Amino acid sequence: MPQTTHYKIDYSDVPIRLFKSDFLEFFTHITPTAIVVIWTPVIALFLIRAFSESMLVGSALYILPALALGLFIWTFTEYTMHRFVFHFPPRTPTMERITFLFHGIHHAQPSLKTRLVMPPVVSIPLALIFYGLFSLVFGWLNAPLWIAPTVAGVVLGYLIYDLTHYATHHWPIRGGYFKFLKRHHMLHHFKTEDARFGVTSPIWDYVFRTMPAE
């Protein structure tokens, strides 16, 4: 598969500036600690809500499958966003600017620690969209009790995704599944930008045939 790197890679610790405004520039930087602080309470609150609601029906057996469903939905979301949104081929200078802001900056400066996890200005609206969609779908299915644990699963999946992404770039991983993920993601960056879109799992790369032969 041909190499599709479009950016000159900058390994310096000086961030490439995205906005002239210091206010806007501030929101383009975030650390893994910040997302743990932001999203762990959200996961906990949705799980507490799920167990509270389960008392109304006298059973909590649905919570674990709903949580697993949320995690599974996240893996698909992670893949589709990375492939079709973050790597959307721009057709105009404006589109090129937008794709660079969303993800191109990461490929241009892949080691910058404050741009390895999704900023809240993106993740919070995304979480609200998921909540709205699950409310509609499970409401239509007459299964409103599944909303809270499924949302908790998606948010947990997102948190695992961001921490895994950070780890593949900065943690010394020497063995096991995470070593495979690190190699998988590094090959995406430096050899096949048009393939290997999964970060926490390669499953959808296999399903949609974006896993190149070794």
The per-residue pLDDT for range 109-142, each reduced to its tens digit, is 888 888 888 888 889 999 999 999 999 999 999 9
Which of residues 2 and 11 earns the better pLDDT score? Answer: 11
Average pLDDT for the chain: 89
Which of residues 195 and 100 earns the better pLDDT score? Answer: 195
pTM for the model: 0.90
Query: Taking 60 as the threshold, does the pLDDT of residue 1 lie above it?
Result: no
> Each residue of 69-115: pLDDT tens digit?
999 999 999 999 999 999 988 888 888 888 888 888 888 888 888 88
- Structure tokens that stand for 158 in this block: 């997102």
* Range with top average pLDDT, 11-25, 129-143, 161-175: 129-143
Over residues 142-165, mean pLDDT: 96
Q: How confident is the model at residue 3 (pLDDT cuts 50, 70, 90)?
A: very low
Q: What residues have CB less than 8 Å from 93, skipping those under 6 apart? A: none
List the domain boundaries for the chain.
54-178
Q: What is the predicted pLDDT for the residue at 214?
A: 67
8-state DSSP, 114: G
CA atoms within 13 A on the CB side of 150: 19
φ, ψ (nearest 5 deg) of residue 196:
55, 60
- Of residues 21, 130, 28, the one with CA closest to residue 74: 130
CA separation for the pair 143, 167 (Å, rounded): 37
Which H or E run includes 87?
none
Q: What is the predicted pLDDT for the residue at 64?
A: 96
Which of residues 61 and 174 earns the better pLDDT score? Answer: 61
Query: Taking 80 as the threshold, does the pLDDT of residue 211 lie above it?
Result: yes
CA separation for the pair 125, 204 (Å, rounded): 24
Q: What is the predicted pLDDT for the residue at 7?
A: 61
Q: What is the predicted pLDDT for the residue at 4?
A: 44
CA angle 179/160/176 to nearest 5° reads 20
Q: What is the predicted pLDDT for the residue at 98?
A: 83
Q: What is the predicted pLDDT for the residue at 10?
A: 67
Q: What is the predicted pLDDT for the residue at 200?
A: 95
Distances (CA, A) of 114 to 6, 35, 161: 22, 11, 16
CA separation for the pair 140, 87 (Å, rounded): 33
Q: How confident is the model at residue 26 (pLDDT cuts 50, 70, 90)?
A: confident
